[in-house]
Amino acid sequence: MADRQRELESGEADIPRTYDARHLRAVHAYLFQDVYEWAGQTRQTELYKGHPGGFAPPGQVDRYLDDAAKLIESAEWASMSQREFGENAAKVYAYVNQAHPFREGNGRAAKLFMQHVAELSPYRLDSTQGRGQRVLPFLRLEVLLELSRRRRSGVPSTRTGPSPASATKGSAGSPRSPWMASSAARCSRER
């Protein structure tokens, strides 16, 4: 699997960049083809992590992935500031994470998918320590979502994170989960 990941990251593997559910399934299928018979197939069972209701039910997975694709398609990735990139990438990731379309391997597939999304911008996601230049400090996805929500509502962004009450509720239309609070992403501007 490490070889498959390296091939995806280096571009050796030819995955069409459609930035939708088909793209994410292709990433998962390529990455896990030697591990799972069902690699690249959307799950048909409930998925729990800690407690029921944490991820989208099987019947809603496609809706979340469609919403992520719409966000990707509607954004002006090439002209975004670093902050705008972080906010938009966090929104897309939130939908992909909430969908959790596979029985296993969602995190790794989503990370590679998001690296592909970042290719639309002047920024790159860097999930390793010490790689890249001008790397932003760890930006918690939860914080980015809160900043985005506040920006849309006109509330000043003086806090560093969401209130405990909002940690699992989220704003209307925005998926959130308690596990997102521990997820981190860094991005760096490509030179």
Classify burial at 132, counting beta carbons within 10 Å of its beta carbon; exposed 0-12, middle 13-18, buried 19 or more: middle
Tell me the pLDDT of the chain averaged across its residues: 77
Alpha carbon 32 to chain centroid, angstroms = 18
Instruction: Tell me what pLDDT residue 126 has.
Output: 75
Pairwise CA distance, residues 114 & 156, whole Å: 28
Instruction: Report pLDDT digits (tens) over 86-121.
Output: 999 999 999 999 999 999 999 999 999 999 999 999
pTM score, whole prediction: 0.70
Is it the case that residue 76 has pLDDT exceeding 90? Answer: yes
In this structure, whether the domain defined by 2-189 belongs to CATH 1.10.3290.10 is answered with yes
Judged against a pLDDT cut of 80, whether residue 125 lies above it is answered with yes
Residue 180 pLDDT class (50, 70, 90 cuts): very low
CA 93 to chain centre: 2
Predicted pLDDT at 49: 74
CA distances from 16 to 30, 75, 113, 121, 181 (A): 12, 19, 11, 17, 31
Beta-bridge mates of residue 123: 189
Helix residue ranges, H only, 33-103: 61-74, 82-99
More confident: 166 or 173: 173
